[in-house]
A and B are shown apart, each in its own frame.
Chain A
Amino acid sequence: MAPLEILGFVLAALEGQRLRSALSALGVAIAVTAVILLTSLGEGTRQYIVAQFTQFGTNLIAVSPGKVKTFGVPGVLGGTTHKLTIADAVALRQLPGVEAVVPVAFGQAAVEAGQRSRSVFVYGVNHEAATAWRFRVAQGDFLPPGEASRQGASAVLGPKLARELFGATAPLGRRVRIGGRSFLAIGVMEAKGQLLGFDLDDSAYIPVASAMDMFNQSELMEIDVMARSAEAIPSVMRAIRQTLVARHRGEEDFTVTSQTEMLDTFGRVIGIITVAVSAIAGISLLVGGMGILTVMWISVHQRTAEVGLLRALGVTRATVGRLFLLEAVTLAMAGGVAGLALAFATGAALRAALPGLPLHTPPGSVAAGLLMSLVVGVVSGLLPARRAAELDPIDALRAE
């Protein structure tokens, strides 16, 4: 008995009940569509976040003041006994496996050039910020080495800020006033876009010591350390802790977080949300399975005479059962495949309508969608198949 021939027979039987078959498959299709779209949205969001963070370099380790205890925000509840300083950053730069170190200060200030003025975010950094954060300079240069601790007077402008202040004229070599002090514009950055609402192109970069002085800050907001490789991250983190504890007289009054840790935690949270939401969508699969079971049950009842005939033609009980089981599985799988198609079509339409929407279908969820359809088909087909197989051929033949 060739399986292909049997499949042909089953398809013809389903074809004979086109509307009913389509409707019962639709239940599964909608469920699979929902599951695929939701997992795509979850995975898309995760990838979007990862991309957002890693565009500023990978292998980053952040050192912030204050210790995160059981709860609380660093520096707020933890309290800092020893301040995180530029000297700390310089010390960390000496550690083996460290590629770059950026001391960061941050504030908001007015930037003026000629008649124009603009209030923007000002980052106090050093010359290594461009490397560590993967910033590219479009014109001129980034901050020169050595200026960071010296309260140098060079400034690098974000492209949007440069455009707003200088219009078409070249900003390089021009004077700008930032927070009331005079700086020399030595470079303009390449466009970088936004990060979580901060417009990075509408900001200025000045030496960190100048920024701390300008904003009247006695402590760094953060020190970013870039490890040479992903493998080096754990040992570098250990070395950072040792060095800073030693420098802070034995107190660990700072927090060291690696970017990977942060992304992992984030990915896990999104993963849990995605699974939970998809499981809820999966309940509709149960409903789809009930639909198939009902339709198959009615089908066995209506086709009792057919079962009797098949038995008279020498078809075994087992094969009769298999026919109906295959019918249920075919319905469910057709629903599953239709659901995938529907999910991809809907995804494409959504992307066209909302270009920013993060949708990324993980291959695993496609496989899972098909597998779930298969399981639903088998489970919902078992009972009707058994009923068909157990029909007495003589009673079945009498049904007309």
Chain B
Amino acid sequence: MIQLEGVWRTYRVGDSVVHALRHVSLAIRRGEHVAVIGPSGSGKSTLLHVLGCLDRPTAGRYTFAGREVGTLSDEERSALRQKSIGFVFQFFHLLPRLTAVGNVELPMLFAGVPAQERRQRALAALAAVGLAPRAGHRPDQLSGGECQRVAIARAAVMSPELLLADEPTGNLDRAAAAEVMELLEAMHARGLTLVVVTHDPAIAKRARRVIQMCDGEILEDSGALADEGGRRGAERPEGAPSAPSQSGVGE
């Protein structure tokens, strides 16, 4: 479903150049569960944003479900996000003025789903994350774990093919984190493709495939197909994979 070929993402900060992604090649098949790990500043979030069509590669090809994302217009990429991609963020990103059910309705509102159907589907999605009794609460009346479950319901309500979660448990205690991961994994079990960025080795271990990143490169990919792995190695630019670079952020 997802194909990255020699993808670079380069930021220009003043005179210096920062490579957040350097020559990343990667294929993810429909229904996979992938964990992305790596030190801070290694480009995990950048990779996720590219996968989610929020960001465009500076160089290289990104193909999502057979369409080359680099050539799509803002409207087309927005439509792709709306229909096929769900996001879960570390800081939940709920609108504070809306209730839980209002937040879950949001993607449907802009997709033009009729009001009644919207409410029904939002309530069903909230029930699926165990928050039916909290439907009328606003985010400031919910715990962190509950907020993240609302965000998951929001990401799931449009039935996307791909769910991208950037440190979804980063702000949660162990129990809430476990609940959140169970929900994500249950969605994966029903056929969703799941990519989770995490700092927690325990959470990474639950994924079938783990991609380790460093300095904008893929250091190790446990699930890469043999031939792809070979190609990736072959295409790696000159210079050692672990060479220090200006993008390296001290840990």
**Chain A interface (Cβ within 8 Å of chain B)?**
1-2, 5-6, 9, 12-13, 15-16, 305-306, 308-319, 393-394, 397, 400
Q: What residues on B are CB-neighbors of A5 within 8 Å?
A: 109, 112, 115
| B54 & A393 in contact (Cβ 8 Å cutoff) | yes
Name the one of A1, A317, A394 contacting B54, with C-beta atoms under 8 angstroms: A394
Please report the C-alpha to C-alpha distance between residue A309 and residue B87 in the assembled complex, in whole angstroms: 9
| A1 & B98 in contact (Cβ 8 Å cutoff) | no
B74 contacts A by Cβ under 8 Å: yes
Which of A318, A319, A397 counts the most B-chain CB atoms under 10 A from its CB?
A: A397
| B110 & A314 in contact (Cβ 8 Å cutoff) | yes
Q: What residues on A are CB-neighbors of B93 within 8 Å?
A: 305, 308-309, 312, 397
| A312 & B112 in contact (Cβ 8 Å cutoff) | no
Name the one of A305, A319, A394 contacting B110, with C-beta atoms under 8 angstroms: A319
Name the one of B75, B89, B97 contacting A15, with C-beta atoms under 8 angstroms: B97
CB distance from A3 to the nearest CB of B (A): 10
Q: What residues on A are CB-neighbors of B95 within 8 Å?
A: 306, 309
CB distance from B24 to the nearest CB of A (A): 17
A314 with B107: in contact, given A306-B95, A393-B54 (CB under 8 Å)? Answer: yes
CB distance from A319 to the nearest CB of B (A): 7
B91 contacts A by Cβ under 8 Å: yes
Q: What residues on A are CB-neighbors of B79 within 8 Å?
A: 314
A313 with B106: in contact, given A12-B98, A16-B97, A394-B55 (CB under 8 Å)? Answer: yes
Which of A2, A308, A316, A319 counts the most B-chain CB atoms under 10 A from its CB?
A: A316
A312 with B110: in contact, given A16-B97, A397-B93 (CB under 8 Å)? Answer: no
Could you mark each residue 97-132 of chain B with 1 if its beta carbon is under 8 Å from any beta carbon of chain A, else 0?
A: 110001000110111100100000000000000000
Q: What residues on B are CB-neighbors of A393 within 8 Å?
A: 54-55
List 6 additional contacts besides A1-B111, A394-B54; criterion CB under 8 Å.
Answer: A5-B112, A15-B97, A311-B81, A314-B107, A315-B82, A318-B74
Please report the C-alpha to C-alpha distance between residue A311 and residue B81 in the assembled complex, in whole angstroms: 9
**Chain B interface (Cβ within 8 Å of chain A)?**
49, 52, 54-55, 74-75, 78-83, 85, 87, 89, 91, 93, 95-98, 102, 106-107, 109-112, 115, 154
The 6 closest A-B pairs by CB, nearest first: A314-B82, A16-B97, A314-B81, A316-B78, A309-B93, A313-B107
Please report the C-alpha to C-alpha distance between residue A5 and residue B97 in the assembled complex, in whole angstroms: 16
Please report the C-alpha to C-alpha distance between residue A309 and residue B112 in the assembled complex, in whole angstroms: 17
Please report the C-alpha to C-alpha distance between residue A201 and residue B112 in the assembled complex, in whole angstroms: 72
Q: Which residue of chain A is the closest to B109 with respect to CB atoms?
A: A5
Q: What residues on A are CB-neighbors of B110 within 8 Å?
A: 1, 310, 313-315, 319
Name the one of A15, A306, A313, A316 contacting B74, with C-beta atoms under 8 angstroms: A316
Please report the C-alpha to C-alpha distance between residue A103 and residue B97 in the assembled complex, in whole angstroms: 79
Q: What residues on B are CB-neighbors of A314 within 8 Å?
A: 78-83, 85, 107, 110-111
Please report the C-alpha to C-alpha distance between residue A315 and residue B102 in the assembled complex, in whole angstroms: 16
Q: List 5 A-B contacts (CB under 8 A).
A: A16-B96, A314-B110, A316-B74, A316-B75, A397-B89
Q: Which residue of chain B is the closest to A4 with respect to CB atoms?
A: B115
Q: What residues on B are CB-neighbors of A13 within 8 Å?
A: 97
Name the one of A9, A15, A312, A318 contacting B87, with C-beta atoms under 8 angstroms: A312
Q: Which residue of chain B is the closest to A303 with respect to CB atoms?
A: B95
Name the one of B87, B97, B112 contacting A12, with C-beta atoms under 8 angstroms: B97
Q: Which residue of chain B is the closest to A314 with respect to CB atoms?
A: B82
Q: What residues on B are CB-neighbors of A312 within 8 Å?
A: 52, 54, 81, 87, 93
Please report the C-alpha to C-alpha distance between residue A363 and residue B80 in the assembled complex, in whole angstroms: 49
Q: What residues on B are CB-neighbors of A318 within 8 Å?
A: 74-75
Please report the C-alpha to C-alpha distance between residue A2 and residue B115 in the assembled complex, in whole angstroms: 10
| B74 & A317 in contact (Cβ 8 Å cutoff) | yes
CB distance from B103 to the nearest CB of A (A): 10
Name the one of B54, B91, B102, B106 contacting A311, with C-beta atoms under 8 angstroms: B54
Q: What residues on B are CB-neighbors of A2 within 8 Å?
A: 112
Q: What residues on B are CB-neighbors of A311 within 8 Å?
A: 54, 78, 81
Q: What residues on A are CB-neighbors of B81 within 8 Å?
A: 311-314
Q: Which residue of chain A is the closest to B83 with respect to CB atoms?
A: A314
Q: What residues on B are CB-neighbors of A6 within 8 Å?
A: 109
Q: What residues on B are CB-neighbors of A313 within 8 Å?
A: 81-82, 87, 106-107, 110, 154
Q: What residues on A are CB-neighbors of B115 within 8 Å?
A: 5
| A400 & B78 in contact (Cβ 8 Å cutoff) | no
CB distance from A105 to the nearest CB of B (A): 79
Which of B87, B102, B107, B110 counts the most A-chain CB atoms under 10 A from its CB?
A: B110
| B54 & A315 in contact (Cβ 8 Å cutoff) | no
Name the one of A1, A16, A316, A400 contacting B112, with C-beta atoms under 8 angstroms: A1
Q: Which residue of chain A is the closest to B110 with respect to CB atoms?
A: A315
CB distance from A244 to the nearest CB of B (A): 79
CB distance from B39 to the nearest CB of A (A): 19
Q: What residues on A are CB-neighbors of B83 within 8 Å?
A: 314
